Amino acid sequence: MLPFANLSRNPADDAITDAIDGVLRTAFDTVGLDIVSLAANSEATALDAAAGRNARWLIGGGFQRIGNQLRVTGRLLAVSDGTLQDSIKLDGSADDIESLTDSLVARLRTQLNLGDPSAAADPPTERVARDRRPRVAVAQFANLSRNPGDARIQQAVTAAVAGGLIELTAVVMVPLDDQTDDAKALPAAASRQALWLVGGGFQQVAGQLRLTARLLDVASGAFLETVKVDGPVDQLPELLHEVVSTLRDAVDTQATQLADAAAQRRP
């Protein structure tokens, strides 16, 4: 388990990290699940560290506090192949952090099938079957403005795209957290057995935001879909909706074509 990141970057909120980690540790200890603590790091590096500790799952996430509003996000990955099993987003009041952490625990317990502790040792048949679905890798969206203050936009865009694709039942979403350019992301996606790669970038100038995204074929590097949207930065949710919808449709189309081709080859 990775410590939950303080995305607000306010040292006064560091206690929230301890609170979330403590609740998760207690919840999993009560069902006999061994918890391995890892140092704060990228998921790609953490997956290697988790594998070295013989862990089956990697749990991580972060939180962001604005005023009295708190958003907690969590991610569950399979250590064996890095596939994202669940992406969780919870919003509420900072005064009600106990309710948010309880909801986080409940969601993770369901995904890990912890109602039966023995089931946590071996993933259920349904989860193994998911690994046979085609994979789409998602790279970090590049901050083309090169303004460190736009890091939150980068996190929001990448998380929104990944969250939108994980909802597709026909594919498995694989995160590439350390890659932002296609030249490096394509071989990284290939090493994770992904058929397609989603990437892109954003640029903010004087309150105006441009988002670009693309879907590439990993084997050839060919562009399968591109999308570009422009608008005020305060309309980021609407811009993201358009980008995510376009990418979801494109990935779904590719997965459908792949399934149809496979069906035609069967006798």
Instruction: Name the CATH topology of 5-128.
Output: Rossmann fold (3.40.50)
Three-state SS letters, 150-172 = HHHHHHHHHHHHHHHHHCCCCCE
Q: Express as a percent the part of the chain with pLDDT over 90.
A: 21
Query: Does the pLDDT of residue 34 top 80, yes or no?
Result: no
Residue 130 — pLDDT band, cuts 50, 70, 90?
very low
| Amino acid symbol at 14 | D
Spatial contact of 4 and 60, defined as CB atoms under 8 Å apart: yes
Lowest mean pLDDT across 28-32, 82-86, 102-106, 242-246: 28-32
Torsion angles phi and psi, residue 76, rounded to 5: -120, 120
For 201-245, the pLDDT digits (tens) are: 999 998 899 999 999 999 999 999 999 999 999 898 899 999 999
DSSP per residue over 71-131, as a string?
EEEEEEEETTT--EEEEEEEEEEGGGHHHHHHHHHHHHHHHTTTTSGGGGTS--HHHHHHT
Alpha-carbon distance values, 159 to 22, 140, 180, 214 (Å) = 25, 9, 14, 15
| Amino acid symbol at 22 | G
Tell me the CA end-to-end span of the chain in Å, nearest whole number. Answer: 46
Q: Which helix (H) or strand (E) holds 188?
A: helix 182-191
Dist. CA 4–CA 40, nearest whole Å: 8
Spatial contact of 211 and 157, defined as CB atoms under 8 Å apart: yes
Query: Does the pLDDT of residue 125 top 60, yes or no?
Result: no
133-265 shares the fold of 5-128: yes
Q: Where are the domains of the chain?
A: 5-128, 133-265
Does the predicted model carry a pTM greater than 0.75? no
Which CATH architecture is the domain 133-265 placed in?
3-Layer(aba) Sandwich (3.40)
- Residue indicated by tokens 């009041």: 93
Q: State the pLDDT at residue 243.
A: 94
With a CB cutoff of 8 Å and minimum separation 6, the contacts of 145 are 202, 203, 204, 205
